[in-house]
Amino acid sequence: MNYEEALNYIHKVEWRGSRPGLERTFELLRRLGDPQKELKFVHVAGTNGKGSTAAMLASVLETSGYRTGLYTSPFIHRFNERMQVNGQMIGDQELADLTEYIQPFADSMEDPPTEFELITALAMVYFKRSRCQVVVLEVGMGGELDSTNVIDTPEVAVITAIGLDHTRELGDTFAKIASAKAGIIKESGDVVIYGQNPEAEEVFERTAREKHCRLYRPAYDTLRTLSRSLRGQVFDYGAYHGLRIPLLGTYQVNNAAVAITAAEVLARKGWVPRRSPLPESATRYNIPPGQEGAVTHDSLFLPKQWCGNPIHWLRHLEISQQRGDHRTGHRRHTSGVPPY
């Protein structure tokens, strides 16, 4: 099987559509030896900002020395962008070989998987074969019944800003949509939420209590914007000073705070190094354009102490730009209420 044949198989008409339920994904993964059970995850759901948040966290983990997988959707330029290891997308022939391997398992299922379910299973096999130590997994739609929700309790579950998305499938209120996205909250886990939507927060708080989880929110009261211009924004957040993002809008700074909060949770669990005293220097992360909302090729500056070696990250950024690597970008925020 070559690359074009693999894409034709993945995108063929029979797979298209979205059908509720995780049974098909579980069955396909079982036939493939349950690769997801040998991996650790950071799970990211939400309406807005989940793609860029997932990509930021993947870079934090990679720079901390871990072989890191990143699963995102949709892709911007090439299908291969959907699964990456240490910032490099899956190769054409590797994708073809994996698809050829999975094809007989999928074809033999009485109830065949949807396209997204097939791709998710393919990614799990890819990350296992790539010997990933951790995978940042972006939800496709919703959470509870999304095909990525076949994992055990993740290292941290992150739920970004909630809006009225996919109302036909998820419901027409913030509470209903939050309930679907709260499905990624697993027993005794750590959860970071964007907040700022009381109706959604009530759902997340209740689910976290029922699942005996620790719930974290960004400390928006410590967030202070220092300057704004067409080049972006400079802000302080808690003990971190002079952070810069090349994106406009208050919600963009809030999204950066979500990523920082999740990284701090990972630091407390030993995934990310923490240093004292807090250095003033920062590292950068590239956010490419998405299909909706803000568009930028510039960099997001984030604090050094939970990013490992900043020189490594800067070098990684430069190499990524030379290679033309791409990641899923940022999407527009649906307005909510002021932060607590």
Q: Any idea what DSSP says for residue 158?
A: E
Length in residues, the chain: 340
pLDDT at residue 97 greater than cutoff 70 = yes
Cβ atoms of 35 and 124 within 8 Å: the answer is yes
Token readout for 75 is 């892709």
The model's confidence at residue 168, banded by pLDDT at 50, 70 and 90, is low
Cis-peptide into 277, omega within 30 deg: yes
Token readout for 237 is 């957040």
Sequence-separated (6 or more) residues with CB below 8 Å from residue 309: 63
pLDDT in tens, 217-235: 999 999 999 999 988 889 8
Burial 172-199 (b: 16+ CB within 10 A, else e): eebeebbbbbbbbbbeebbbbbbbbbee
Residue 243's DSSP bridge partners are: 235
pLDDT at residue 334 greater than cutoff 50 = no
Q: Cα(288)–Cα(76) distance, rounded to whole angstroms?
A: 9
pLDDT in tens, 39-56: 999 999 998 888 878 887
State residue 292's pLDDT score.
30
pLDDT greater at residue 13 or residue 241:
241
Which is it for strands 41-45 and 134-138: parallel, antiparallel or unpaired? Answer: parallel
Task: Report the range of poorest mean pLDDT among 38-42, 114-118, 202-206, 326-330.
Answer: 326-330
Token readout for 8 is 């034709």
The model's confidence at residue 126, banded by pLDDT at 50, 70 and 90, is very high
State residue 325's pLDDT score.
36
pLDDT at residue 260 greater than cutoff 50 = yes
Cβ atoms of 74 and 141 within 8 Å: the answer is no
Find the DSSP H helices in 44-114: 50-63, 92-107
pLDDT at residue 102 greater than cutoff 80 = yes
State residue 18's pLDDT score.
60
The model's confidence at residue 151, banded by pLDDT at 50, 70 and 90, is very high
Sequence-separated (6 or more) residues with CB below 8 Å from residue 150: 22, 25, 26, 29, 36, 120
The structure tokens 């430069």 sit at 318
Which is it for strands 240-245 and 232-237: parallel, antiparallel or unpaired? Answer: antiparallel
Which is it for strands 134-138 and 68-71: parallel, antiparallel or unpaired? Answer: parallel
Token readout for 211 is 């699942």
Find the DSSP H helices in 108-249: 115-129, 167-170, 174-181, 198-210
Q: What would the mean pLDDT of 181-204 be, rounded to a whole number?
A: 95
pLDDT greater at residue 283 or residue 22:
22
Q: Cα(252)–Cα(300) distance, rounded to whole angstroms?
A: 10
State residue 247's pLDDT score.
67
pLDDT at residue 1 greater than cutoff 90 = yes
State residue 243's pLDDT score.
83
The model's confidence at residue 16, banded by pLDDT at 50, 70 and 90, is low
The model's confidence at residue 249, banded by pLDDT at 50, 70 and 90, is confident
Of 95, 67, 93, the C-alpha closest to 83 is: 95
